[in-house]
A = this chain, B = another copy of it.
């Protein structure tokens, strides 16, 4: 382990429970010598990765981090950032993973990852632009959006499948409420026969949805249990992705996801 790694590891000891750490505490946490820790800390302060309170002499995370994080947000295209992440997810679940963004009321494909463990798998077409309310992604997005957005979506005739009749506003709102309570949306054969999917929103810094992450799989793969397993994967994954994109998961959603991560049974969605 290099000196650099050892020094940077000091930063990892900060947490919401320990926002400020003193020299001795750092020494204890890292298990290294006091002089060494002190040298490292001062180097980090010098570089702006830490700052030291003049009075208590305690250390806390420094301004350089915000600067660099901003820089990362500005310079790293989210597509690539997200690409690496969903690649991992896809590898774990062995299914097709999508990331979509809502542009107007069109779901636009941002990127996808596919690590096929199974002979039977879902094909897809990145150019497709299905009506928002007909997809798990679209519903997941809207379920966590502001009422005005939902209202606008319902008012727009392009959001529901043109083959169907206009969706009943009340029924749709109920579905969205259920989704918001579950923490995720799903879809079984509704858009394309034989294809099911599970979807979850990704948030920006204001806590409003900016994108969705979804897993698509052949319906034959399994029933509610299989679906819920995937949903739990998504609920563990979405916070990571949200953070990577510089966003924040709203507290209420965080709570739901944490709770659902443990439960085994869930109510049906309309």
Contacts and interface: CB of A to CB of B under 8 A. Distances in A.
Interface of A: 2-5, 7-9, 11, 14-16, 19-20, 39-40, 43-44, 46-49, 51, 53-54, 60-76, 80-81, 84, 101, 103, 108-110, 125-127, 204, 243-244, 246, 248
Contacts of A16: 71, 74-75
Contact of A69 (B19, B44, B68): B68
B61 A65 contact: no
Given A74-B16, A75-B60, A11 B68 contact: yes
A70 B19 contact: no
Contact of A68 (B2, B39, B40, B65): B65
Given A3-B3, A19-B76, A69 B66 contact: yes
Nearest to A39: B2
A-B CB proximity, top 3 nearest: A19-B75, A69-B69, A61-B72
Contact of A61 (B7, B19, B62, B71): B71
A43 B2 contact: yes
Contacts of A53: 80
Contact of A64 (B51, B64, B73, B103): B103
Chain A binding site: helix, strand, loop or mixed by DSSP? Answer: helix
A206 to B, nearest CB: 9
B14 A66 contact: no
Contacts of A62: 72
A14 B244 contact: no
Contacts of A65: 65, 68-69, 72
A37 B71 CA distance: 21
A24 B72 CA distance: 21
Nearest to A18: B75
B108 A67 contact: yes
Contacts of A108: 48, 63-64, 66-67
B66 A109 contact: yes
B40 A61 contact: no
A2 B68 CA distance: 20
Given A7-B4, A40-B4, A84-B51, A73 B68 contact: no
Contact of A244 (B40, B63, B101): B63
A70 B61 CA distance: 10
Contacts of A68: 11, 14, 61, 65, 69
B63 A5 contact: no
A18 to B, nearest CB: 8
14 contacts: A2-B43, A3-B4, A5-B47, A15-B71, A16-B71, A48-B108, A54-B204, A60-B75, A61-B76, A66-B73, A66-B110, A67-B126, A69-B70, A75-B127
